[in-house]
Structure 1
Amino acid sequence: MDRAEIIEHLRQSLTVILGRPLPEFDEKTRILEDLEMDSMRFVELLMSLEDTLGLEADPETLDPEVFQSAGAFADYIKDRLEFARAAG
């Protein structure tokens, strides 16, 4: 799964979680600030990504930079998915 596909998957997941369409969602969208996400919604997003992508989020790797933008979060997801594949 490439970065663009992950960003689109994030848009779709967030549309469901937030209950509203996100037509202007792209790699520069600040997930917490622009979408006014609270911590509970973010946990919902992580659980959704675990179910749909098989993402295994490691709390120790969830640095604040990960949440700066949709692009930064997509990079984190891509890295975690590749790590899981390599680990077998």
Structure 2
Amino acid sequence: MTTRQDIVSAIAGGLTEVLERDVTGLSEDTALFDDLRLDSSSVLELLLLVEDSTGAAVDPEDLDIDHLRTVRSFADYVERLLAKGETP
């Protein structure tokens, strides 16, 4: 079973890879677009990395911008997917 900390760690690891730098001071309140300057292509890459790390199957059609506002909102979304058993 994937814990909340596992999900946040997967997001942090994905961000480090996508941004090609260490992401320091990351918290669940960190804004993905405003604080980290993600763009649409980096978000897609992040989604793929988090899917691989957690086993969650993100459907881009069901994904809303509000799911990607902060680390917390993205972790909440992934956590709900895993709880519903939405895995590949």
The structure where helix makes up a greater share of residues is: 1
What SS does the aligned partner of 1:59 have?
coil
| Aligned residues between the structures | 86
Once residues 61 and 33 of structure 1 are traced to their aligned partners in structure 2, the CA distance between those partners, rounded to angstroms, is 22
TM-score of the aligned structures, taking structure 1 as reference length: 0.85
Unpaired runs of 5+ residues, structure 1, are none
Unpaired runs of 5+ residues, structure 2, are none
- CA offsets per residue over residues 16-58 of structure 1, 9 Å max, x none? 1111111111100001111100100110011112222212112
Once residues 8 and 51 of structure 1 are traced to their aligned partners in structure 2, the CA distance between those partners, rounded to angstroms, is 13
Corresponding residue number in structure 2 for 1:18: 19
Letter of the aligned partner of 2:11 in structure 1? L
- Measured on the aligned residues, the alpha-carbon RMSD in Å equals 1.7
Runs (4+) of structure 1 moved beyond 6 Å? none
